[in-house]
Structure 1
Amino acid sequence: MATPAAVYSYCSTCVRRAFVGLITACLFMATGQARAAQATVAVAANFTGTMTKLVALFEQETGHQIQTSYGSTGKLYAQIRHGAPYDAFMAADAERPRLLAEQGVAVARSQFPYAEGRLTLWSRNPELFRDGLQYLNSQPQRLAIGNPKTAPYGIAAIEVLENLGLAESLTPKLVSGDSIAQTFQFIASGNAHAGFVAQAQVRAFQGAAGSAWLVPKTLHRPISQHAILLNRGRSNMAAQDWMTFLNDAKAQAIILEDGYDVPQQSSH
C-alpha cells in the first residue's frame, strides 16, 4: 500500500502536469487568436454562391474571418475609387483591377485571374427552348442581360447578339439589371422569360432546371475574372492569405465544380 507521502507526491505531479497543460493550451489559443485576422473583400455578384463555399473552407483552415460585399464589378470599382474600406477586390473582369493598380489604389503586380466565367441563356420555363440560337432568332419579346456599363457578363451578352447579327433587332427588347445577380432575379421571378446569366448561377438555383443553353466561347470575348490586393489589405495577413488561398487546389476545385473554368496559370 502506498504511503500518504507517496500519494501526495503523485497527486502533486498530476496537478502540475494539468496546470502546465492548461497554460500551454491557453498560450496556443492566444497565439492563434493573435495571428487570426479579418479582411473585407469586394466580390462580383455572379460569384456569390461560390464565394460562400470558399469563405467557409478558408475560415475553417486558417482561423481568419472574411467579410464580403457583393455587387456589379462597375459599382464596386466606383466604391473602391471613392475610398470604400475593402482589402481585396474580386472583379468579373481584368480591366477594373488593372485600372486600380494604375491609379495607385491597389498593390502593383498583385493582380491575377481566379476564374473564367461561362455565359448561359436561361429560362425557368423548361419548355421555352431547346436550341438557344433558334430561340434568339425567334425574336423574344423580353430578354434580360446585365447592364453592360457595370456588369462584364452584360458586355459578353451584347457581344453574343452582335456576333449573331441580332443586336439591332433585340436591343429594344433588352431588360438590364444593375448586376448579374439582379438580372438572374428578373428571370427567376418571371419578369423576363429568359436572359443571359452566369452558368454558376443556374447550377446554384434551387428551383426547376428550366431551359439552358451554354453560350459557345467563340461568340464573346473570355470573361476572365481577376482578383487584386488593395492598398488597405497590404499589411493584412487575412487578405494576403486569402489571395494565396484562391490559387490553392482545394479552392480551384470548388470554383471548377460550380461552373467556372479555372485559369491554367494563376500566380501573383
Structure 2
Amino acid sequence: MCITIISHADQLSVAVASNFTAAMRQLGDEFGETTGHSLNVSYGSSGKFYAQIRHGAPFQVFLSADQTKPEALIKAGLVTPKNRFTYAVGALALWSSKSDFVDENGEVLRLGHFNKLALANPLLAPYGTAALDVLRHLSLENSTRNSWVTGENIAQTYQFVSTGNADIGFVAVSQIMKNSVLKSGSAWIVPPKLYRPIKQDAVLLKAGENSIAAKEFIAFLKSEKAKTIIRSFGYGLVE
C-alpha cells in the first residue's frame, strides 16, 4: 500500500494504549516522514481514554489495548462499525530487570523466590487480565496474591519491575524485546495457550471522519510497512 505525500499537512490527535508506546513511536516517525502530517500522540490507560472520549475529548483515532472499549464506543455512537479493526495481538512475558532471575519456563513463579510480583490491574488493563489468566491456569493465584503490586496500566507495571520495586512482573513482550532480542534482564515468554488472546482494536472516531490525516493514518496502519514494524515488537496480526 502506498501513502502519497500531500501538499497540505495536518495534525492528527491519537490516543494510544501504553503497551504500544515503542511501536507507535516508530510508526509515527515513518508516517510523518511519508505523509508530512504531524501526530499529537497521548499514551496511557485504555480505560481512561475511553472515559475521556465519552466526555468529548478531541481524539480522532484511538488505539485500544482491547476490543471491549472500541465496541462500547460503537454502541455509544462515537464510532461507525466499519471504522474498527484489529491492529495487533499482544503477547505476555514474565520479566525481571535482573539477569538470570527468570528462567525460561517461569518456574520462579512456583518457587516463590521473589519479593513482589507486578501485574497490571486486571479490572482496568487487558494485560492484567491476561496475567490473572496465567496465574489461575497455573493454580498460583492464591499463593502469590500477597506479593502482588498492581499498576494502573502496563507502563506503570513495567516501571515497578525496571526500578527494582518488584523482582518480577507480567509485562508486554513489546516492552522488553525488539526483533526477538531481549533488551535487558531475563524473561519467560508466556505460552499463548495460558491466557485469552489480547486482540487490540483501533477505531477512527467520528471526530476524525472528515480528517484526511486520520484516514491516511488508518490506511498506513494496515499497510505492509506498518505490519512489519508491528511484528518487530513481538505482536501478532490478524490476517
TM-score (norm 2): 0.93
- What is the CA deviation profile of residues 125-159 of structure 1, one whole-angstrom value per residue up to 9, with x for unaligned ones? 11213144311111233100011122110110001
Of 199, 203, 208, which residue of structure 2 is paired with 1:224? 199
C-alpha separation in 2, matches of 1:88 and 1:208: 30
Q: Which amino acid aligns with 2:133?
A: E
Q: Which amino acid aligns with 1:172?
A: N
- What is the CA deviation profile of residues 196-238 of structure 1, one whole-angstrom value per residue up to 9, with x for unaligned ones? 000010025xx96211000000000001111001110011111
The answer to whether 1:85 aligns with 2:58 is: yes
1:1-268 alignment, distance < 5 Å: 32-33=7-8, 36-139=9-112, 140-203=114-177, 209-264=184-239
C-alpha separation in 1, matches of 2:88 and 2:217: 15
C-alpha separation in 1, matches of 2:31 and 2:68: 27
- Say if 1:74 and 1:149, in contact at 8 Å, map to a contact too: no
C-alpha separation in 2, matches of 1:84 and 1:170: 39
Which consecutive residues of structure 2, in runs of 5 or more, have no partner in the other structure? Answer: none
C-alpha separation in 1, matches of 2:149 and 2:88: 26
C-alpha separation in 1, matches of 2:170 and 2:191: 13
Which is greater in Rg?
A: 1
Q: Which amino acid aligns with 1:47?
A: F
SS at 1:107's partner residue?
strand
- Say if 2:31 and 2:220, in contact at 8 Å, map to a contact too: yes
More helix by share: 1
SS at 1:218's partner residue?
helix
Q: Which residue of 2 aligns with 1:11?
A: none
- Say if 2:177 and 2:183, in contact at 8 Å, map to a contact too: no
Q: Which amino acid aligns with 2:138?
A: L
May I ask how many residue pairs the two structures share in their alignment?
232
SS at 1:93's partner residue?
coil
- Say if 1:124 and 1:208, in contact at 8 Å, map to a contact too: no
C-alpha separation in 1, matches of 2:15 and 2:74: 15
Which consecutive residues of structure 1, in runs of 5 or more, have no partner in the other structure? Answer: 1-28
More strand by share: 2
C-alpha separation in 2, matches of 1:261 and 1:52: 18
How far does residue 76 in structure 1 lie from its aligned partner after superposition?
1.2
Q: Runs of 4+ in structure 1 displaced over 4 angstroms?
A: none
SS at 1:186's partner residue?
helix
- Say if 2:86 and 2:201, in contact at 8 Å, map to a contact too: yes
C-alpha separation in 1, matches of 2:69 and 2:23: 21
